[in-house]
Amino acid sequence: MARIIQLRVWNVGPDMADRVQHRFSELVEGREWRDGTPWLADAASRDLLAQLFFDQALQQTRRSGDDRPLCAATFVRIAGDEADALALTFIARDISAGLDVDIEVRDPDNPIAKLRRVELARGRLRNGAPLESILVRRAIFRRMPDGSRMEMIPPRPPGSAFGQALGDDVRGGGWSFIVHDIRIVEPTFLGAEAEAMRIFRGLQALPSDDR
């Protein structure tokens, strides 16, 4: 079932607005989206849709009684691809941490209650915990264009109550992606996804007998 995720950016000084826009554009253009590349609307937006959306977001903020200055907003339609939802959330974390701004991710139809509203300050949750602490621990599967499945495995602590890894538990603190039985482990979701997609495209370019 398709759902809409909204993103709100707060407390951005006038001298930081362009940097937020630049970083957001840089990150969203670095991956493929199932339903169009997201944009970030603000008071300086020239596109009519972005202007209307930002005006609506401002009105919603005022009606809610939130007195923080809303600086930018966007939305992404998630059409059954949790990779897009995760990517938007980690893009928000990257910007919040790197530019020291507050970002809220609203995903009201997420089946996991703790992910329906995620507030980030300096890249961490309001209670100071890392974003990964509220993510599901199980593997997430993504259907690829060739019909195969890409497996996305979130980071987790070593598989032992005594802090020692068990067996071949190589995940540690990084994301593990598996594409066509090839495992990629990177410190970040976006980094692991980018490498997995690079390998996937490389395999697709091979003659079918060589895959």
pLDDT in tens, 112-167: 999 999 999 999 999 999 998 998 788 899 988 888 999 999 987 555 443 444 44
In Å, how far are 5, 6, 121, 171, 184 from 156, measured between CA atoms? 25, 27, 22, 7, 15
pLDDT for position 170: 43
Mutual orientation of helices 17-28 and 82-99 as an angle, nearest 10°? 150
pLDDT digits (tens, 9 = 90+) for 8-44: 999 898 889 999 999 999 999 999 898 888 999 999 9
Q: What are the domain boundaries of the chain?
A: 3-134, 140-210
54: confidence class by pLDDT, cuts 50, 70, 90: very high
How far apart CA 193 and CA 183 sit, in angstroms, is 11
pLDDT for position 34: 85
Burial group, residue 94, by CB count within 10 angstroms (0-12, 13-18, 19+):
buried
Q: Catalogue the E-assigned strands of 19-83.
A: 70-78
pLDDT for position 160: 40
First to last CA, the chain: 32
pLDDT digits (tens, 9 = 90+) for 93-113: 999 999 999 999 999 999 899
pLDDT for position 157: 58
Tell me how many degrees the CA angle 146-150-154 measures, rounded to the nearest 5.
165
Most confident of 4-8, 34-38, 64-68: 4-8
Q: Which amino acid is at 175?
A: W
Going by the DSSP 8-state scheme, the letter that residue 24 receives in this structure is H
pTM reported for the whole predicted model: 0.85
Q: With 70 as the cut, is the pLDDT of residue 92 above it?
A: yes
Q: Quote the radius of gyration of the chain (alpha carbons, Å).
A: 18
Q: With 70 as the cut, is the pLDDT of residue 6 above it?
A: yes
How far apart CA 195 and CA 178 sit, in angstroms, is 11
Mean pLDDT over each residue of the chain, to the nearest integer: 88
How far apart CA 188 and CA 4 sit, in angstroms, is 24
pLDDT digits (tens, 9 = 90+) for 158-206: 554 434 444 444 445 689 999 999 999 999 999 999 999 999 999 988 8
